[in-house]
């Protein structure tokens, strides 16, 4: 068989494996959260807070969705015209048009253009978060975080691009196979590396002081059979008033992380309720599931890009000769961007099912639905959540069950419904 036929077979095989993995590993059963309980929960929430949360999200939507649309428009303008290939050429010209310069600097230049174009909308979102009291950052602090984010993304992208185009040069007919394996390996590597190397770039972590709460959280993890290396406190208050906690890392790097804002806003039993939810992710190996699906998806994307290289009209539109050359970077990014927007509802659905299972785990572990419900009230109030968002937005982008769904699940659990 030809390489292209092998690639088509491989893509079909990856699609089947992804489907099977999703069916087996994703918790499609949804814990009970009756709509009647949701409506009762909505009525029980302070109506002034509900109004404020909805106003906040209404104010954010134009900037958030505007940035998505504008970013996509810029990406398509660069990828589906010769503009992108010319930008890559310009990036490599000072270095003698060396392929490394084209691959790395060209890719970073394309991403930077999209970042710069959408930067005013990101700044607009920051002004709204400050106006509603959720952000505590100055403009200087916000700008530093933007630069840090781009720097981290640039390093990861540079490594990925250098590896990818090294493969395309060494194996021009079979780069899709080696590239798919490399993309999957990079996703797995980042799952281990990001919590240890990247999180400290944005937050300072300090061990939680010995005391009843730390003892309770460690005991909760032990009772759950989830070994953790440490309990850390993140200095989230220097940028936000939002409250949160999470379990980060895999294996020997796993640790419980609690926002300092959560410690200030919530009583210990509510902190334990949030941590119990996060332990559920570790207990059910949700990071493993996400990493596996991400690795398989990255591999499939590389193979699909190779097959798209057989569409002559697409290459001509972009002004390139092959999908495996650095000048096709903008086209590749455009294709991936469109795929990401199309896949967003499915990704959100999977995320909501995983989060609902973690909620059920927290309820089973703590056996305290009252505290769980009060914590959901606090999360919605402090984080300015919309407790019952518009259906279209919920289906497209909600990564968690809504506040009223989570409160309803607690009420159903209290009645013995599972």
Residue 418 pLDDT: 78
Tokens of 61: 């939507």
Q: Confirm whether residue 355 is marked as ligand binding.
A: yes
Judge whether 241 lies within some domain.
no
Question: So what's the pLDDT on residue 381?
Answer: 94
Which of 288, 276, 272 has its CA nearest to residue 358?
Answer: 276
Query: In which order are the strands placed within the sheet that holds 255-259?
Result: 205-207, 231-234, 255-259, 245-248
Residue 292 lies in a domain: yes
Q: What is the pLDDT along the chain (418 residues), one digit of tens a residue?
A: 788 999 999 999 999 999 999 999 999 988 899 999 999 999 999 999 999 999 999 999 999 999 999 999 999 999 999 999 999 999 999 999 899 999 999 999 999 999 999 999 999 999 999 999 999 999 999 999 999 999 999 999 999 999 999 999 999 889 999 999 999 999 998 888 887 788 888 889 999 999 999 999 999 999 999 988 889 999 999 999 999 999 887 677 788 999 999 999 999 999 999 999 999 999 999 989 999 999 999 999 999 999 998 899 999 999 999 998 999 999 999 999 999 999 999 999 999 999 999 999 999 999 999 999 999 999 999 999 999 999 999 999 999 999 999 999 999 999 988 7
411: helix, strand or coil: helix
On whether residue 160 sits in a domain, the answer given is yes
- The annotation status of 277 as a binding-site residue, yes or no, is yes
Domain-located, residue 214: no
Residue 206, strand partner residues: 233
Q: Which residues are catalytic?
A: 278, 359
* Domain assignment of residue 225, yes or no: no
Using CB atoms within 10 Å of the CB of residue 86, give its burial: 0 to 12 exposed, 13 to 18 middle, 19+ buried: middle
Q: Is 261 exposed, middle or buried (0-12, 13-18, 19+ CB in 10 A)?
A: buried
Please give the Cα distance from 268 to 154 (Å, whole number): 40
Q: What is the pLDDT of residue 310?
A: 86
Give the pair of three-digit tokens for residue 169: 């040069």
pLDDT at 249: 74
- Pairwise CA distance, residues 49 & 388, whole Å: 12
The pLDDT of residue 210:
93
pLDDT of residue 178: 94
In a domain, 104, yes or no: yes
175-193 and 286-308 helices, crossing angle to 10°: 150
364 marked as part of a ligand binding site: no
Task: Determine phi and psi for 256, rounding to 5 degrees.
Answer: -85, 130
How large is the greatest C-alpha to C-alpha distance in the chain, in angstroms?
Answer: 71
Q: What pLDDT score was predicted for residue 192? A: 81
Q: Are 129 and 383 in contact (CB under 8 A)?
A: no
User: What is the residue range of 293's domain?
Assistant: 3-202+285-414
User: Quick one: pLDDT at residue 254?
Assistant: 83
Total structural domains within the chain: 1
- pLDDT at position 351 is 96
At 229 the pLDDT is 87
> Any idea which residue has 């394309």 for tokens?
110
């Amino acid at each position: 068989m030809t390489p292209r036929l092998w690639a088509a077979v491989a893509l079909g095989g990856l699609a089947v494996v992804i489907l099977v993995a999703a069916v087996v590993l994703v918790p499609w059963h949804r814990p009970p959260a009756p709509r009647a309980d949701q409506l009762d929960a909505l009525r029980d929430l302070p109506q002034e807070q509900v109004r404020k949360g909805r106003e906040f999200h209404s104010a954010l939507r134009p900037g958030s969705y505007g940035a998505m649309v504008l970013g996509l428009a810029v990406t398509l303008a660069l990828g589906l015209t010769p503009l992108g290939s010319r930008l890559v050429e310009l990036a490599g010209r000072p270095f003698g048009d060396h392929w490394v310069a084209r691959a790395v600097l060209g890719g970073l230049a394309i991403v930077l253009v999209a970042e710069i174009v959408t930067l005013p909308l990101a700044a607009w979102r920051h002004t709204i978060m400050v106006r509603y009291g959720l952000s505590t950052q100055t403009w200087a602090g916000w700008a530093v975080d933007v630069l840090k984010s781009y720097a981290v993304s640039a390093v990861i992208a540079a490594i990925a691009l250098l590896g990818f185009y090294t493969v395309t040069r060494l194996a021009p007919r079979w780069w899709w196979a080696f590239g798919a394996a490399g993309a999957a390996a990079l996703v797995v590597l980042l799952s281990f590396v990001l919590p240890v190397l990247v999180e400290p770039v944005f937050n300072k972590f300090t061990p939680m002081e010995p005391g009843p709460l730390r003892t309770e959280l460690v005991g909760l993890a032990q009772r759950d059979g989830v070994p953790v290396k440490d309990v850390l406190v993140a200095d989230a208050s220097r940028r936000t008033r939002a409250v949160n906690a999470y379990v980060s890392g895999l294996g020997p790097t796993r640790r419980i992380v609690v926002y300092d804002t959560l410690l200030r806003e919530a009583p210990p039993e509510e902190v334990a309720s949030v941590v119990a939810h996060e332990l559920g992710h570790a207990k059910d190996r949700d990071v493993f599931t996400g990493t596996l699906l991400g690795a398989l998806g990255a591999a499939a994307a590389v193979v699909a890009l190779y097959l798209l290289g057989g569409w002559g009209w697409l290459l001509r539109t972009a002004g390139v000769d092959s999908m495996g050359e650095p000048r096709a970077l903008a086209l590749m990014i455009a294709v991936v961007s469109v795929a990401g927007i199309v896949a967003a509802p499915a990704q959100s659905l999977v995320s909501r099912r995983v989060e609902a299972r973690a909620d059920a785990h927290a309820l089973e572990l703590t056996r305290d639905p009252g505290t769980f419900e009060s914590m959901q009230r606090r999360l919605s109030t402090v984080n300015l959540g919309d407790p019952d968002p518009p259906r279209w937005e919920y289906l497209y982008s909600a990564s968690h069950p809504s506040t009223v769904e989570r409160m309803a699940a607690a009420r159903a659990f209290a009645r013995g419904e599972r």
